[in-house]
Amino acid sequence: MRAHLAWFRAIGRIGLANIGIFIFGISVFATARALAQNEYAAAHKNKKSTYAALAEVPEKARGRKNPFEADTQAVAAGGKLFEQHCADCHGRKAGGARKGPSLLREEVQQATPGTLFWVLTNGVVRRGMPVWSKLPEPERWQIITFLHSLNSPSMNSQSENPGLH
């Protein structure tokens, strides 16, 4: 009987702890997946709500000027930064992907530089877009410059089909 008790104690100390940790780990991962999927689903439920964050930008922030407005070097640098940090979610040609909406649509292309800068800086955390203030301010403006350079008829035609990216 004592041997059985000792065996149960040993299981309690080692076995159950490890099984518990494993189940807990799986649960955490499953929860993370479910939360992320819900966020994406909510974000893409309808096209209008996808871009709702643009309407929430404070008036003062909308009016900010892009210091790299007509800087061709900034377009190239912004393109490089976009590829490094944004393309995974928004598609290589910014036409949208599973995780992020198209940035070629009118809502984005017609937005002021200040509006886009604010959204980039603050993210849309509740819908899965992280904050990007870790990029220095000039780099964020370079990305905005690149995004606005995409505003051409040929690029806009791709926005209707995100699968093209």
Partner 1 sequence: MVARIVSEPMLRKFPSLIFIALTFSLLFCGSSLVWAQESPYIVTYDHYLEEPGSLEVEYFSTFGTQRGGNDFDAFWTEFEYGGTAWWTTEVYLAGQTTFDDSTIFTGFRWENRFRLLQREHLVNPVLYIEYENTNGADKILKEVEGHDVESDYAESNAVLRKEHDHELEMKLLLSSTFKGWNVALNPIVTKNLLPSERWEFAYAIGASRPLALKASPNRCNFCRENFIAGVEMYGGLGDTRSSGLHDTSHYLAPVVAWNLPSDWTVRLSSGFGLNDNSHRLLLRWGLSREFSGFGELVGRLFGGRP
Distance of CA 121 to the CA centre of its chain: 12
Whole-angstrom distance, CA of residue 8 vs CA of residue 120? 55
Minimum distance from residue 35 beta carbon to partner 1 (Å): 5
**What tokens appear for 57 in the block?**
């930008």
Minimum distance from residue 88 beta carbon to partner 1 (Å): 5
Residue placing its CB nearer to partner 1 in the complex, 44 or 127: 127
Residue placing its CB nearer to partner 1 in the complex, 137 or 160: 137
**What tokens appear for 109 in the block?**
């292309």
Q: Among 55, 143, 69, 146, which Cα is nearest to 155's? A: 146
Whole-angstrom distance, CA of residue 17 vs CA of residue 164? 49
Q: Using CB under 8 A as the criterion, which residues of the chain lie in contact with partner 1 when the complex forms?
A: 21, 25, 28-29, 31-33, 35-36, 39, 73, 76-78, 80-81, 84-85, 88, 98-99, 121-131, 133-139, 142
Residue placing its CB nearer to partner 1 in the complex, 69 or 106: 69
Residue placing its CB nearer to partner 1 in the complex, 62 or 99: 99
